[in-house]
Structure 1
Amino acid sequence: MLAGVELGGTKVFVLRARGRTILDREMIPTTTSAETLGKAVAILEAWHARQPFAAMGIGSFGPLRLDPHAADFGIMLPTPKPGWAGADIFRTLTAPFDCPAVIDTDVNGAALAELRWGAGAQGPAPSDSLCYITIGTGVGGGFAFNGRTLRGAMHPEIGHIRVPRAPGDRFAGSCPFHGDCIEGLVSGPALAKRFGVPGHEIDPADPRWDDVANDIAHLVSTILLGTAARQLLIGGGVGMGRTGLLDSVREKVVTQLGGYLPHVDKDSIGRIVSAPLLGDQAGPLGAVALAMDALEGAGVS
């Protein structure tokens, strides 16, 4: 029996699974760290009393300290989300349970699930390298290479990469740390500020979407060049919500790369850059995949 927690910026899923099959799932709104984590622990304790967990996987929004040798391992670092900086995610969720556990970012977990059971497992040969980008309240990126997630002192923070701006695009960005980093340009709150209306009211025909596609395409091009990932999936409320946007991003990636990567062209780009195959189940299944790693003694614990 495996336990999983997918801790997101707006909601939390607490899971119980056997293998990759999710048996129970509870949703908690993300409020204060104390209230949210306390409710998650209460659910886990009730399940554990019925049948003890063999392992636990935690996929959390960040930024997190993932270096197991650091004094603040498993703790939330400075974040724009009020009341969460300094929250001890790992110890709070695992202290009541005597089982191995792994903590990682929610997007790293989603990338791992897609690599093992989703987009990375499709086709004539399984993929060995995959990047999962979520564009929603923020912009996050997870990497699963050779069966494991990518992390070191921290975890990938692709949302705060700066990209070349489209000519004439004067939007200043909305990131409180960096202004016009990619999160400050294309996240849900950034789009609302850029267009002047909530995301669901933005006109699909507004020409400024071309600037948004340019920004996302430069991020994708940077990742393909910098990591040699075979696949790049774009999910999240913004990423999965606009098919036309993804098509425009693909076209711009091919143009931006200028033929330098021989495997990326107009015929292959649709296979390389796509939507997550697992859809909104990538995050919950990511927590399960991390629990499996904990059971096998792999990953950060």
Structure 2
Amino acid sequence: MHDAAYIGGIELGGTKTVFAIGDRTGTIVRRHTVATREPASVIADACAFFNTGGLHIEALGVGAFGPVVVDRNAADFGHLLDTNKPGWSGFNLMGALAQGIAAPAQLVTDVGAAAIAEQHLGALRDVDIGVYLTIGTGIGGAIVCNGQLLPALLHPEMGHIALHRLAHDRAPSTCAFHDTCAEGLVAGPAIMARFGASLDHFPPDSAEFALVADYLGQLCSNLVLTLSPQRIVIGGGVAHAPGLTHAVHQAIVRQLGVYGPRASAQPGYLCPPALAQDAGVIGAMLCTVSAAASHPAVIA
């Protein structure tokens, strides 16, 4: 791939899908956003974007919500597994894209793509091991270790880690698979179901805010004790609520007590993404560069 070549990126999220064309530095020159509807419509949108406009891409990176099979050697590579997103369970995402877009493609999760971008250009660029969490339509996570996404049997499903319910909390989980997982308790749809409004409608000193911060603090505390990351980045629509990052960090410190790495109590240990809403699609583009530089197989 020469310096002037263009690469493409797709960030397939639970609510919206972002298409972009840019260069190997992650600079976007053209982009388009659509709602994530049924698979056929989103694939048609992707083909229209990348096959028109006069910008030929030499590679395509895809960051997809999960669970999705990212192992290229698997018989069902590129397929979505059972998911809360209606119409997407079992869909052959990479097969459908290959039929409509003539470019070699790499696949990671949507949060994995964001982690790649933050590791190369953003808030994780100076750490050996870091975690990226996204709190939005669902909750997802990725682990970056020495510049690469940590390989796994499938990919990390941090949003489905079980939490301890607060004593007064009787709200049903919105996850179809688990009663007490983080996604079912405090992802965007769960917050709407339990409070009737998004979190940014509540002040940081409210009981609603405190509940969400406590549960996300539990999730992050589990990750601190399990992985001992040097930094955790928290992004996604829910994380945009003013004051949430600070409140979650306070919950982490409170829940860990004096146990755990001292650095986890320092300012900046839990932080927002430096690339904001562009992290996912930039990371999708950059995963094609990382793969080409190391080996031809997909990174996961």
Judge same fold: TM > 0.5, yes or no. Answer: yes
Q: Which residue of 2 aligns with 1:206?
A: 206
The CA deviation at 1:100 is: 3.4
1:18-71 CA-to-partner distances (Å, cap 9, x unmatched) read 122111112222211011112202221225xx4543221100111101122221
Distance in 1 between the 2:104 and 2:229 partners?
30
SS of equivalent residue, structure 1 residue 25: strand
Indicate yes or no: 2:276 matched with 1:279: yes
1:185-236 CA-to-partner distances (Å, cap 9, x unmatched) read 1111111222244555445543132222111001001111111211101111
Structure 1 residues 8-27: aligned runs within 5 Å:
8-19=13-24, 20-27=26-33
Instruction: Tell me: CA distance 1:111–1:241, structure 2 relative to 1, closer, same or farther (3 Å).
Output: same
Q: Which residue of 2 aligns with 1:241?
A: 241
Distance in 1 between the 2:66 and 2:264 partners?
34
Q: Which residue of 2 aligns with 1:250?
A: 249
Distance in 1 between the 2:101 and 2:212 partners?
45
Q: Which residue of 1 aligns with 2:298?
A: 300
Distance in 2 between the 1:117 and 1:298 partners?
23
Instruction: Tell me: CA distance 1:138–1:262, structure 2 relative to 1, closer, same or farther (3 Å).
Output: closer
Distance in 2 between the 1:32 and 1:285 partners?
24
Q: Which residue of 2 aligns with 1:261?
A: 260
How large is the Cα RMSD of the aligned pairs? 2.0
Structure 1 residues 152-171: aligned runs within 5 Å:
152-171=152-171
Distance in 1 between the 2:68 and 2:291 partners?
18
Distance in 2 between the 1:82 and 1:216 partners?
25
SS of equivalent residue, structure 1 residue 119: coil
With 90-99 and 141-150 compared, the bigger mean Cα shift is at 90-99
For 1:247, the aligned partner's letter is: H
SS of equivalent residue, structure 1 residue 54: strand
Distance in 2 between the 1:190 and 1:83 partners?
20
Q: How many corresponding residue pairs? A: 292
Q: Which residue of 2 aligns with 1:134?
A: 134
Q: Which residue of 2 aligns with 1:33?
A: 39
With 26-35 and 215-224 compared, the bigger mean Cα shift is at 26-35
Partners of 1:56 and 1:294 within 8 A in 2: no
With 220-229 and 195-204 compared, the bigger mean Cα shift is at 195-204
1:145-167 CA-to-partner distances (Å, cap 9, x unmatched) read 11111343311111111112233
Distance in 1 between the 2:191 and 2:27 partners?
36
Partners of 1:16 and 1:22 within 8 A in 2: yes
Distance in 1 between the 2:113 and 2:80 partners?
17
Q: Which residue of 1 aligns with 2:285?
A: 288
Partners of 1:107 and 1:133 within 8 A in 2: yes
Indicate yes or no: 2:223 matched with 1:223: yes
Partners of 1:101 and 1:294 within 8 A in 2: no
Distance in 2 between the 1:6 and 1:233 partners?
18
SS of equivalent residue, structure 1 residue 24: strand
For 2:43, the aligned partner's letter is: L
1:132-179 CA-to-partner distances (Å, cap 9, x unmatched) read 111111111122211111343311111111112233333332211112
Q: Which residue of 2 aligns with 1:110?
A: 114
Unaligned runs of at least 5 residues, structure 2 = 1-5
Scaled by the length of structure 2, the TM-score of the pair is 0.90
SS of equivalent residue, structure 1 residue 242: coil
SS of equivalent residue, structure 1 residue 271: coil
Distance in 2 between the 1:158 and 1:74 partners?
20
Distance in 2 between the 1:209 and 1:177 partners?
25
Instruction: Tell me: CA distance 1:51–1:199, structure 2 relative to 1, closer, same or farther (3 Å).
Output: closer
Q: Which residue of 2 aligns with 1:182?
A: 182
Instruction: Tell me: CA distance 1:51–1:274, structure 2 relative to 1, closer, same or farther (3 Å).
Output: closer
Q: Which residue of 1 aligns with 2:3?
A: none
Q: Which residue of 2 aligns with 1:4?
A: 9
For 2:249, the aligned partner's letter is: R
Unaligned runs of at least 5 residues, structure 1 = none
The CA deviation at 1:180 is: 2.1
For 2:35, the aligned partner's letter is: P
Partners of 2:50 and 2:56 within 8 A in 1: no
The CA deviation at 1:11 is: 1.7
